[in-house]
Amino acid sequence: MGNPLSGRVAEALRRSTTIVRHGSRNRGGNGSGVVLTGDRLVTNAHVVEGARSVTVESWEGKSVTATILGIDPTRDLALLAAPGLDAPAAQFGDSDRVLAGTPVLAIGNPLGFTGAVSNGVIRAHETAIASIQRWIFADVRLAPGNSGGPLADLQGQVIGINTMMTSGGLALAVPSRAVQGFVTRQRHGIVLGVTLHQVALPNGGPGMLILEIQPGGPAERASLLPGDIIVSGNGRGLHYTDDLQAAIDESQRSLLNLDFRRGGEQRLRHVVVQLTEERATTAA
């Protein structure tokens, strides 16, 4: 017999999971979405990529037209507004606390099956090949239509957004911490305004090389330059780009403390970046 608790959790998750469709019902692409509030939801960027119109359908069968509020193609996330959807919000957990071996459920709409449930366990919470961002790996089976749906623990806490299957047969999900940071940035527009590439420092430690700087953005206002290597953000070491983004998302009063190296200098420089339009402290 199935676990009654898992059944109740799955039923609640179904009500917070939507179908996300663009194009016609027969010819368009289908995916899933997770409700954040009554009319806001998150899905994968690739689910709505190139869409002129998006339709969102709730578990109860209510169908509304949605608007794309923001997209992060790097993290494969999209935020949608679906006025009138009025679906129950999912509860998000802390992906940083997820351990290998944790039982999980995945909800989605694969191959035309609405609200299908898969179960498995977490295998790892680490970077993927050719990536400098954290992902959650689980042995849950996904299929087309699962993209954008929730990966949740047995308490019903969403710990990731399902994205794809790896070549090794594991499900790849965006951690909930990254999802919540993305939603916060869309709401408040807080960004550093840089393009980064992970590098190794002479001492073997990790750093983030600034490749490009957005004109007029916070980094430029703080006198940062292309070629600078960011070593830490608000005291957080930068093993992944997610670490810098987490420092930005958690910044108090929109102030970001950065330690960085410039040129061949061995000493660390420090700058306080004002992430809003107020003037930043000059790099020293």
DSSP letters spanning 98-129: --TT-EEEEEE-GGG-TTEEEEEEEEEEEEPT
Residue 183 phi/psi, 5-degree rounding, is: -65, -40
In the residue annotation, 147 being an active-site residue is answered as: yes
The total domain count for the chain is: 3
Question: Which residues are 274's β-sheet partners?
Answer: 255
The pLDDT assigned to 189 comes to 66
Please indicate, yes or no, whether residues 172 and 256 belong to a single structural domain of this protein: no
Q: Is residue 86 part of a domain?
A: no
Within 8 A by CB and 6+ apart from 21, the residues are: 28, 29, 30, 31, 54, 55, 56, 57
Burial code (b: 16+ CB inside 10 Å, e: under 16) for 59-76 equals beeeebebebebbbeebb
Please indicate, yes or no, whether residues 238 and 262 belong to a single structural domain of this protein: yes
Domain final residue, candidates 127, 153, 184: 184
Which CATH number covers residue 227?
2.30.42.10
CA–CA dist 112, 147 (Å, integer): 13
Q: Is residue 283 part of a domain?
A: no
User: What whole-number percentage of the chain has pLDDT above 90?
Assistant: 51
| Mean pLDDT in residue range 25-43 | 83
Q: Is residue 282 part of a domain?
A: no
pLDDT tens, residue by residue, 192-236: 888 888 888 888 888 899 999 988 889 999 999 999 999 999 988
Domain final residue, candidates 58, 81, 104: 81
Q: Which of 22, 58, 72, 76 is catalytic?
A: 76
Please indicate, yes or no, whether residues 176 and 95 belong to a single structural domain of this protein: yes
Please indicate, yes or no, whether residues 22 and 59 belong to a single structural domain of this protein: yes
Has residue 16 got a pLDDT over 90? yes
Domain final residue, candidates 135, 157, 184: 184
CA–CA dist 192, 228 (Å, integer): 14
CA–CA dist 40, 55 (Å, integer): 13
Between residues 168 and 189, the one the model is more confident about: 168
The runs of H, that is alpha helices, within the chain are 4-15, 45-48, 176-188, 218-221, 241-249
The pLDDT assigned to 72 comes to 86
Q: Is residue 279 part of a domain?
A: no
Q: Is residue 238 part of a domain?
A: yes
Please indicate, yes or no, whether residues 98 and 179 belong to a single structural domain of this protein: yes
Q: Which of 147, 176, 232, 251 is catalytic?
A: 147
How many CA within 13 A on the CB side of residue 237? 6
Please indicate, yes or no, whether residues 45 and 109 belong to a single structural domain of this protein: no
Q: Is residue 211 part of a domain?
A: yes
The pLDDT assigned to 91 comes to 96
Which CATH number covers residue 8?
2.40.10.10
Query: Please, what is the average pLDDT of the chain?
Result: 86
Please indicate, yes or no, whether residues 143 and 112 belong to a single structural domain of this protein: yes
Domain that holds residue 132: 91-184
Q: Is residue 71 part of a domain?
A: yes
Please indicate, yes or no, whether residues 153 and 222 belong to a single structural domain of this protein: no
Q: Which of 46, 95, 176, 243 is catalytic?
A: 46
Please indicate, yes or no, whether residues 179 and 195 belong to a single structural domain of this protein: no
Confidence of residue 280 (pLDDT cuts 50, 70, 90): very low
The pLDDT assigned to 275 comes to 83
The pLDDT assigned to 140 comes to 92
In the residue annotation, 22 being an active-site residue is answered as: no
Q: Is residue 172 part of a domain?
A: yes
pLDDT tens, residue by residue, 78-136: 999 999 999 999 999 999 888 999 999 999 998 778 889 999 999 987 655 445 678 89
The pLDDT assigned to 277 comes to 56
| Mean pLDDT in residue range 257-266 | 89
Confidence of residue 284 (pLDDT cuts 50, 70, 90): very low
